[in-house]
Structure 1
């Protein structure tokens, strides 16, 4: 039970208890649905000399659909919005995320 932030923190606690360096990642998860736009969180662990992503919420271990915006020790280090608000009134926050796949040009090898 819980949301992605909870799942990431549970993973971090387990990995760190085993002596595995782990960090919290936040950003967005690309989906085919236009209705889904929300910040997302997952964990990364240092294994075999590299950082590997673990999205416990969606059972994903490959970052192909993740747009990473921040990393840190926990949510407070990598939260999407952080600050303090004083006074009354109302507020709103809107986000727009657009992801485009860009194919890198092929390198041309000169033959001698």
Structure 2
């Protein structure tokens, strides 16, 4: 399933929208279940240690999941592959822009750098 996803940390009052302050990462995928498995593997959530899969997850504190929330926003599936790819990138950019407009920067995992500290 294709769509945009937001990974949040904390206790959001509802499903975290892309502009919510709790959002730590915004991404897009053409295979949501596989992408979440890759994030968990690289973040050390389901296994002891970290494994290849999702580059941003290497900056997530290892094994942290007790206050993690994931929101998925599916996109239309019935379009030509090249149109769907462009649409996914555009929707991801809009989601990151919504966060930027509200908070003056991009989500912490999208920004790059080293390991983040979750509050």
Normalised by the length of structure 1, the TM-score is 0.26
- For the pair shown, the structure with the greater C-alpha radius of gyration is 1
* TM-score for both structures, normalised by structure 2: 0.25
Structure whose residues are more often helix by fraction? 2
Which one has a larger percent strand, Structure 1 or Structure 2? 1
